[in-house]
Amino acid sequence: MDIVQAVILAIVEGITEFLPISSTGHLILTAKLLSIAQTEFIKSFEITIQLGAILAVVVLYAERLLKNFGIIKKILAAFFPTAVIGFLLYKVIKKILLGNEHVVLISLFWGGVFLVIFERLHREKKDDVEKLENISYRQAILIGLFQSLSVVPGVSRAAATIVGGMLLGLKRTTIVEFSFLLAIPTMAAATGYDLLKNAPAFSLDQMSLMGIGFMISFFVAIFAIKFFLRFIKTHDLTVFGIYRVIIAVLFWLTDR
């Protein structure tokens, strides 16, 4: 992988990490388009640039988190189920699921269909949770279980948590913000664990590419987060569901 390919992957990550369209799935498909082989380094690179996107959340929400420790406790409660499942399935995720474009396309397609149907049926209620502070620990843990579905590439961590939160009685804008914040411990743990196991095997040039990708995904993600927050105030997730279906079909047709 050269520096141009690294930059492209980092931009894709920054744009897609917080949208309900699966950043991991898009990275896998983008790597295929760029003819980048799915080596151990590429898989670790993709995980590392996700951490760059997560840093954008830390920067944007740092002041709010520091002033409200209660939100942090809810985030940690939601993170626990994902941490356990991710640790237990690490080898399966890294060796079998990551890089599997067929799994990605199936997940993108049916996940898109589900989003469209879900938004047609779902109606917010007046008593749905409107503030992050009012999310219960039970709701937080269950949201974490929904998030764990995203160990399958193409499912989308954001989509799983947002849909799960709405089913559990959270307003759309509230669960979108909680999804952003939940990404902090989730991706930090995934990246840290992966680098701890694999970093010694990477060359200095490879580590440099990781650093470049990290910074680019960080800056792009800041703009993506702000866009999604504005978008979700007046729109639902239908357009993302349609987009997922179209992308999956296009890749199926062109891959024949």
pLDDT at 95: 58
Q: Which two tokens stand for residue 187?
A: 């991706």
Residue 179 CA to residue 158 CA, distance in Å, equals: 6
58-67: long-range contacts at Cβ-Cβ below 8 A with a sequence spacing of 24 or more? 58/184, 59/222, 60/222, 60/225, 60/226, 61/180, 61/181, 65/181
pLDDT for position 129: 93
pLDDT in tens, 60-91: 998 888 888 889 999 999 998 888 877 776 56
- Residues in the chain, overall count: 256
Structural domain of 22 = 3-254
195-222 per-position pLDDT tens digit = 666 666 677 787 888 889 999 999 999 9
Pair 107, 229: CB distance under 8 Å? no
pLDDT at 224 (0 to 100): 94
Phi-psi region of 39 (alpha: psi -120 to 50; beta: other; left: phi over 0): beta
User: Is the pLDDT score of 239 beyond 90?
Assistant: yes
> Tens digits of per-residue pLDDT, 46-58?
878 888 898 899 9
Q: Is the pLDDT of residue 98 over 70?
A: no
| Helix 40-67 with 3-16: angle, nearest 10 deg | 40
Mean pLDDT, the chain, whole residue set = 86
User: Mean pLDDT lowest for which of 12-26, 94-108, 240-254?
Assistant: 94-108
- Residues 19/176, Cβ–Cβ less than 8 Å: no
DSSP code at position 89 = T
For residues 133 and 71, is the Cβ–Cβ distance under 8 A?
yes
Counted domains in the chain: 1
Least confident of 38-42, 90-94, 146-150, 154-158: 90-94
CA distance 204 to 54: 24
Q: 101: which 2 tokens?
A: 């474009």
